[in-house]
Amino acid sequence: MSILKRLEKALDDRLRGVFASPQEGGREAIELYRDAISQVAARATVGSRGDRVLPFDRIRLELRAETDERRAVLEALFEPVQMLEDIRAGLLEERISTPAALSLQVDYAPDAATEMRVFFEKGGAAPKAEPAPMPLLQLITLEGIAATGNLYLQGNVVNVGRSKDVQDALGRIIRRNQICFPEDLDPDLNSTVSRAHATLRCNPAEGEWRLFDDGSSMGTAIFRDGVRIEVPAHASRGVGLRIGDEIYFGSVRVRLETV
């Protein structure tokens, strides 16, 4: 499957785009990704019309993640939406038809028996469980007086920038920042925050917040368990957040905590 060879560079670029330095086990994780797609293709059967089809509509991956660092590497690669696209592309190249409602679930287990297991199921879409209510979170400033008190994450989309309103050349408001770091409060620090710096998005179905960089000048990063994780500018998937993460908007440093 030639797409697997093309994927290697894309996966390597994805890792380098998320992490500031090469991650231990990164190449081996790429091999797991390729192996998972190969295992899916190997389950194709011959249909009633003589064509090759995938006789399942649900795929579940179980990955062993013994440490937070290992899980961070795996999460950077095994993003379900992107991986499902890669699976479909690989099967299409092999002329294997896929169900329109094909779904993919990725689970992480610190005590899994093997590095990776692939499970196949069929029989229609699995019933959706009611998402648990998202806890109220806050960002606590850690560097000087960077903002006016603690900052609460409310709603599903929270914009971050240097001022409340972002205007275009004609003075029209084109963006409103729910969290802002006014430059007059701390000129040296807050000047490193762009007018439209970043966005936090809530995903209730997955029970998480994700952080996106909106093309800021000084960048956005997360410091977690001794590892700096860069948030790529304009990346469609962003980076998932965890309680206790330190987030850098330029040089402004905040910590994500529950209320």
Q: Give pLDDT tens digits for 55-87.
A: 998 999 999 998 888 888 888 888 888 889 889
Cα–Cα dist 239/200, whole Å: 10
* In the predicted structure, residue 51 carries a pLDDT above the cut 90: no
Q: Give the tens place of pLDDT for each residue, 15-28.
A: 776 666 666 777 78
Q: What global pTM score does this model have?
A: 0.57
pLDDT at 125 over 70: no
The string of pLDDT tens digits covering residues 86-110 is: 898 888 888 898 888 889 999 998 8
Max CA pair span of the chain: 71
Q: What is the mean pLDDT of residues 166-188?
A: 87
pLDDT tens digits for 193-204? 999 999 998 877
Bridge partner list, 38: none
* Cα distance from N-terminal residue to C-terminal residue, the chain: 50
Instruction: Give the C-alpha separation, 70 to 76, whole Å.
Output: 10
Q: Which domains does the chain have, with CATH numbers?
A: 2-121 (3.30.2320.60), 137-258 (2.60.200.20)
Q: Helix or strand or coil: residue 13?
A: helix
Q: Would you state the structure tokens that stand for residue 10, as one six-digit string? A: 């894309």
Instruction: Report the 10 Å Cβ neighbour count for 199.
Output: 21
Residue 142 main-chain phi, psi, to 5 deg: -115, -10
